[in-house]
Chains A and B, each alone.
Chain A
Amino acid sequence: QKEVEQNSGPLSVPEGAIASLNCTYSDRGSQSFFWYRQYSGKSPELIMFIYSNGDKEDGRFTAQLNKASQYVSLLIRDSQPSDSATYLCAGLSGYSTLTFGKGTMLLVSP
């Protein structure tokens, strides 16, 4: 059974701080990982993906992947109140299907 685990939160950080969101996965065959942001009542939107061990940076966002530890993380620097949302981690296994975690709610206070 493929599983992706996330702490449901909420994770509360003050404006300007670094938010760290974590995800673990059970399927060693997972090739790529995706972070989606979902505002309440809306559909998920892709923030970034990563498929190589190490870090990948895009603006204020950094994704980290450690395949040996089966661990993925997303760092958000200079957090803003507009970053308050649920963040979904998903792993790609096989050819095209994603397995999603339940998401972590992030609250950024002004």
Chain B
Amino acid sequence: DGGITQSPKYLFRKEGQNVTLSCEQNLNHDAMYWYRQDPGQGLRLIYYSQIVNDFQKGDIAEGYSVSREKKESFPLTVTSAQKNPTAFYLCASSPLGQGDNEQFFGPGTRLTVL
């Protein structure tokens, strides 16, 4: 089945720890994205990548890092520099083109800082 997978579904982190969230897609999409969602809020873009070995900061990149070594994978690291990391993290992918660049979302990872 084609789709986007994220792991783990739930993640608990102690203050001062770095954690890495996994995102994999087998849709052969060029572009991948990471969003953060807080309760009652919309999605805010953290990082995105349109091609392997290249990525751009979104609106709230501080305290996060990413890599894009393979087309299928776009892991997100939440570093200790992120002061309020508790949130729902969503990964998405889309084909590149004009007009209908619909983004498909993975099931999400819920991160809680203890």
Is residue A43 contacting chain B, with contact meaning CB distance below 8 A?
Answer: yes
Knowing A42-B107, A96-B48, A96-B94 are in contact, say whether A34-B43 is a contact too (CB < 8 A): no
- Kindly list chain A residues whose C-beta atoms are within 8 Å of the C-beta of B45: 97-98
Is residue B1 contacting chain A, with contact meaning CB distance below 8 A?
Answer: no
Could you mark each residue 84-114 of chain B with 1 if its beta carbon is under 8 Å from any beta carbon of chain A, else 0? 0000001000101011111111111000000
In this complex, how many residues of chain B approach chain A with their Cβ under 8 Å: the count is 26
Is residue B2 contacting chain A, with contact meaning CB distance below 8 A?
Answer: no
* Interchain CB contact under 8 A, B102 and A102: no
Report the tally of A-B residue pairs with Cβ distances under 8 A. Answer: 57
Knowing A44-B43, A92-B101, A102-B40 are in contact, say whether A97-B106 is a contact too (CB < 8 A): no
Restricting to A47-88, which residues have a CB under 8 Å from any CB of B? 49, 51, 88
Is residue B41 contacting chain A, with contact meaning CB distance below 8 A?
Answer: yes
* Interchain CB contact under 8 A, B41 and A102: yes
* Interchain CB contact under 8 A, A51 and B31: no
Interface centre among A6, A8, A90, A100 (most CB of B within 10 A): A100
Is residue B67 contacting chain A, with contact meaning CB distance below 8 A?
Answer: no
Alpha-carbon distance A51/B94, docked complex (angstroms): 17
- Kindly list chain A residues whose C-beta atoms are within 8 Å of the C-beta of B94: 96
Is residue B58 contacting chain A, with contact meaning CB distance below 8 A?
Answer: yes
Is residue B80 contacting chain A, with contact meaning CB distance below 8 A?
Answer: no
* Interchain CB contact under 8 A, A88 and B96: no
Interface residues of B (CB under 8 A from A): 31, 33, 35, 40-45, 48, 50, 58, 90, 94, 96, 98-108
Interface residues of A (CB under 8 A from B): 4, 6, 8, 31-32, 34, 42-46, 49, 51, 88, 90, 92, 95-98, 100-103
